[in-house]
Amino acid sequence: MNSPSSSPRADLVVVGAGIVGLAHAWHAVRAGLSVVVLDRDDRPVGASVRNFGHICTTAQAGVALAFAEVAREGWLRLAAEAGLGVRETGTLVIARTDAEMAVLDEFAAARPDEAELLTAASVGARGGWSAPGTVGGALLPRDLRVDAPTVIPALVAYLRTLGVQVRFGENVVAIEDGGVRTADSWFPAERVAVCVGHDVDRLFPEIAAGAEVRRCRLRMIEIDAPRGAVIDPAVFTGSSLLRYGGFSETRAAAAVRAELASDDPDVVSQVINLMCTQRPNGRVVIGDTHHYERTLDPFEDEDVDDMLITRFRRLFDVDELRVRRRWRGVYAASVHGPYLFARPNDAVLVASVTSGIGMTTALGFARDALERHGIL
């Protein structure tokens, strides 16, 4: 545990050691600033270690795509400089209806250098198994993969080698003039970046209220690889075409939305994004569902997990799936857009990804936030 103290004045104190906070710290220390990162937990345990580890650059649109492009280069730089486990595996999108294939056709026509259309046979070859009913698909080769539970601690370790003070077990209780106060310490700072995701309402309730920040609860499950399959790329299905702007903004997406509402309404009502990635140990992370509330219900409905397992049994064409772990993810969401950026005063910025694409875009979003605040 950290002993009570008052630290030397830092150029930047970052509150929150998730990917958004660590991204702010990385850009700032590379610019020559002294940086302190504070986090209330004893180690990274939040949304940044509970996700698919999918750096989904290609499927973004608008400002998210711009941030994702910057973030992609950042991840590759970190792989080269810090030895972080970043893999250029791409994303495989499986189309099981003509409507889903039409979205991929339209997307590939608009961005031909970023999507390779596939036949049903080549989808099976790229994915490591043949999904029943596949009519075709696409490979998005520029997307990246990381192992979220290990890459975030590795990033913390690397930042420390650059001189960043990352202090866990520091519960921030107030952002005051001239610095940050924790339960037992004072950290003076020229500037403060508050990167606490959905918990922005704990420190700046008026900012959270103005942005209508809610918590998104999602369910994820880790299974043994069906039949020992080796699944190199991340895998998307038809429901993913409604989740990411690059697909959902196509004209053809309306037909997919209507098709799912008619043929599989639970996917729509539970806001399911049926996708998976394979971890280095061979297990497969499947998910996920999305429920939005400011205060989350503490009770989990087993029927929701059954929905996921049933649909993945069909996708993998197996009778049973061996479940190894389950967990709840929580991240910030807002109807006002994918990002929250606010400046309560000249010394403080508040930055949250409010769309569930922190791993994909935080390295780009953080650079933009620091530039807008005049720190870079």
Summarize pLDDT for 128-170 with one digit per residue, the tens.
999 999 999 999 999 999 999 999 999 999 999 999 999 999 9
Mean pLDDT of all residues in the chain?
96
Q: What percent of the chain has pLDDT over 70?
A: 98
Topology of domain 91-141+214-333, CATH? D-Amino Acid Oxidase; Chain A, domain 2 (3.30.9)
Other C-beta atoms within 10 Å of 237: how many? 23
Residue 4 has pLDDT above 70, yes or no: no
Structure pTM?
0.96
The predicted pLDDT at position 7 comes to 73
* 5: confidence class by pLDDT, cuts 50, 70, 90: low
CA distance 369 to 60: 19
Task: Tell me the per-residue pLDDT of 58-104, one tens digit each, with 9 for 90 and over.
Answer: 999 999 999 999 999 999 999 999 999 999 999 999 999 999 999 99
User: According to CATH, what is the number of the domain 5-51+148-211+336-372?
Assistant: 3.50.50.60
The predicted pLDDT at position 214 comes to 97
CA distance 334 to 216: 9
End-to-end CA distance of the chain: 32
Token readout for 333 is 């969401």
- Position 48, amino acid: S
Instruction: Give me the mean pLDDT over the 299-324 stretch.
Output: 95
Task: Tell me the per-residue pLDDT of 325-346, one tens digit each, with 9 for 90 and over.
Answer: 999 999 999 999 999 999 999 9
> What residue has token string 């002993």?
3
Task: Tell me the per-residue pLDDT of 108-127, one tens digit each, with 9 for 90 and over.
Answer: 999 999 999 999 999 999 99
* 247: confidence class by pLDDT, cuts 50, 70, 90: very high
Closest CA to 72 of 370, 367, 372, 369: 367
The predicted pLDDT at position 3 comes to 47
The predicted pLDDT at position 374 comes to 94
Q: Are 36 and 10 in contact (CB under 8 A)?
A: yes
Q: CATH 3.30.9.10 region(s) of the chain?
A: 91-141+214-333
Token readout for 138 is 């696409």
* 246: confidence class by pLDDT, cuts 50, 70, 90: very high
The predicted pLDDT at position 351 comes to 98
Task: Tell me the per-residue pLDDT of 13-43, one tens digit each, with 9 for 90 and over.
Answer: 999 999 999 999 999 999 999 999 999 999 9
Helices and strands counted in the chain (H then E): 12, 20
DSSP-H helix ranges across the chain: 19-30, 62-82, 98-110, 120-127, 148-161, 200-203, 205-210, 245-248, 253-263, 265-269, 302-316, 358-372
- Residue 359 phi/psi, 5-degree rounding, is -60, -35
Q: Are 342 and 207 in contact (CB under 8 A)?
A: yes
Q: What percent of the chain has pLDDT over 90?
A: 97
Other C-beta atoms within 10 Å of 311: how many? 18
Q: CATH 3.50.50.60 region(s) of the chain?
A: 5-51+148-211+336-372
Pairing of strands 179-182, 172-176: antiparallel
Instruction: Give me the mean pLDDT over the 283-297 stretch.
Output: 95
CA distance 35 to 162: 10
* 6: confidence class by pLDDT, cuts 50, 70, 90: low
Token readout for 44 is 């990274």
> What residue has token string 């309404």?
265
Q: Are 7 and 185 in contact (CB under 8 A)?
A: yes
Pairing of strands 348-353, 10-15: unpaired
Buried b (16+ CB within 10 A) or exposed e, 291-302: beeeeeeeeeee
